[in-house]
Structure 1
Amino acid sequence: MSNSETGLWLRRFSESPAGAPPLICFPHAGGAASSFVSLSRALAPHAEVLAVQYPGRQDRYRERTVASISGLADAVVRALGPDLPAGCAFFGHSMGAAVAFEVARRYESRPGAKGPVHLYLSACRAPFLRETDTFRPREDGEILAELRQLSGTAQAILADEEVLGMALPALRADYRAIDAYRAPREARVDCPFTVLVGDADPIVPVHDAAAWRAHSRAGTEVTVFEGGHFYLDGHTEALAALIRARTPADRPTA
């Protein structure tokens, strides 16, 4: 998994043993690769965590944002290359879950190519539930109003006007991307899902998250954590333990 775009799109925050199974992590709307630092450290002895860095934030701040889920998925596939490493799994939080799913669909659609072995889909509605939604780009005030409902990372953005000003272009693009995203109920992949959601998430009810089971041919389990949309901020160790338990130790390394 190495080409001219890999280093641009992927970040590694911890060293892992040679042959550790890769876990590619996809951030939420407005988020960056650094949102997975804690999870990377918790999994370092067990998995090689690679976090996707979307354009328009942090060290890619000057780059043009990508305002569609399909555009992000296409770019990530180019960065990862034609073949995923053996034992590779995806973890996506909020908007990142939709991107992870679309990347998995693209790999499975390629003759002879293999998709990820597992999808961890966190704090996100099943995409087929969006089919009847009417798309309308949100104004900045609407985006900020939703962020105020959330806990954790979103509050840190709102608390600092300078950070908020820098984050708004990425937030606008990401909200447009997820609001416009649609996938039919029959859109499925072959790998199993672990769906993760907070019991007090104000924008993703548990039953909307659990509806992801319609998109897997291999089965879905649902795990509910105490907390809101950013429940994972307070459950890093539990989340890492869950991922370790679902990653067999004898994954092939080539």
Structure 2
Amino acid sequence: MLPRTATGWLRCRTPRTRPRARLVCFPHAGGSASFFGNWPDHLPADVEAHAVQYPGREDRIAEEPPAGLDALAGCVARELAALLDRPIALFGHSMGAVAAYEVARILEQHHGVTPLRLFVSGRHVPGEHRGDEIHRRDDAGLVAELVRVGGAGADVLAASPELWPVFLPAIRDDYRLEETYRHRPGAPLRAPVTALVGEDDQEVTPDEAGRWSHYTSGPFALHVMPGDHFFPAQHTTALLDLMLRELDAQEAPR
């Protein structure tokens, strides 16, 4: 995804002149803003897409990671403050779902802004800690996990150990952020929440995704999509059509 600016946390490939809403997208562990590179092509002209770019990759490859997922969310929320002149919806996939959730909490608690909707994809709820320590594995073990999950380029990475020093540090840091994150109990979101899960996802079940209903006092929806853990890349058009229908069906919270 081409950046609007060369610095900061947000990348906007296709700025809109007068958007009625903005959609801010958070990638998975090991992912980047490019994961959402074609999303603007599937959105109407009055919806502006922004993708979060985590440090340590692409145009931020020389930057250090944040201390934790809460710190990451705080950085993104501060940058989003300049974009709150329009209603904002948040989408996060896998680790990005928790990051988007924490940003939604900050927007509601500290900015008085209720997001149009929070879309959480391919992730169990924040309060369930699974005890994984993938970030502590050696390089071969980390790559084996990427292959198991089926991320884009994992097989190429597995066959190219010479690339490991370039790509694995950021991926390892992302797993560290996710695995050391601890949910802080608090009031549920006011924002509506939609949970999305692939029917063949081996990382989260529909029942587990359905427990996101406890994290909002507003409307909740659960959708099981075709595909596996990376269904957003496999069925982008169907996913965005669904998201737009849900956004069109509601008014911005007051």
TM-score, scaled to structure 1: 0.86
Deviates more, 1:54-63 or 1:146-155: 146-155
> Which runs of 5 or more residues in structure 1 are unaligned?
none
In the TM superposition, what is the alpha-carbon distance from 1:11 to its structure 2 partner? 0.8
Taking the aligned partners of 2:227 and 2:33, their CA distance within structure 1 comes to 22
Taking the aligned partners of 1:235 and 1:188, their CA distance within structure 2 comes to 30
Runs of 4+ in 1 over 6 A off after TM superposition: 249-252
Superposition pairs of residues 66-215 of structure 1, within 5 angstroms: 66-81=66-81, 84-110=84-110, 113-130=112-129, 133-134=130-131, 136=133, 137-140=135-138, 141-153=140-152, 155=154, 157-158=157-158, 160-183=160-183, 186-215=186-215
Taking the aligned partners of 1:39 and 1:159, their CA distance within structure 2 comes to 30
What is the aligned partner in structure 1 of residue 14 from structure 2?
Answer: 14
Residue by residue over 1:161-214, the C-alpha shift from the partner in whole angstroms, topping out at 9 and shown as x without a partner, is 455432211111110111111225655211111111111112122222221111
Taking the aligned partners of 2:148 and 2:187, their CA distance within structure 1 comes to 31
Task: Determine what percentage of the aligned residue pairs are the same residue.
Answer: 36
What is the aligned partner in structure 1 of residue 43 from structure 2?
Answer: 43
In the TM superposition, what is the alpha-carbon distance from 1:15 to its structure 2 partner? 4.1
Superposition pairs of residues 218-237 of structure 1, within 5 angstroms: 218-237=218-237
Taking the aligned partners of 1:143 and 1:90, their CA distance within structure 2 comes to 29
Bigger relative contact order, structure 1 or 2 (CA pairs below 8 A, ≥6 apart) = 1
In the TM superposition, what is the alpha-carbon distance from 1:12 to its structure 2 partner? 1.3
What is the aligned length? 245
Taking the aligned partners of 2:224 and 2:132, their CA distance within structure 1 comes to 29
Contact 1:149 1:202 in 2 (8 A): no
What code does the residue aligned with 2:142 have? I
Taking the aligned partners of 1:237 and 1:211, their CA distance within structure 2 comes to 26
Deviates more, 1:214-223 or 1:39-48: 39-48
Taking the aligned partners of 1:21 and 1:135, their CA distance within structure 2 comes to 37
Residue by residue over 1:93-146, the C-alpha shift from the partner in whole angstroms, topping out at 9 and shown as x without a partner, is 111100000011111112x6213110010111111122xx44645313443232
Contact 2:57 2:170 in 1 (8 A): yes
TM-score, scaled to structure 2: 0.86
- For the residue of structure 2 that corresponds to 1:183, the secondary structure is coil
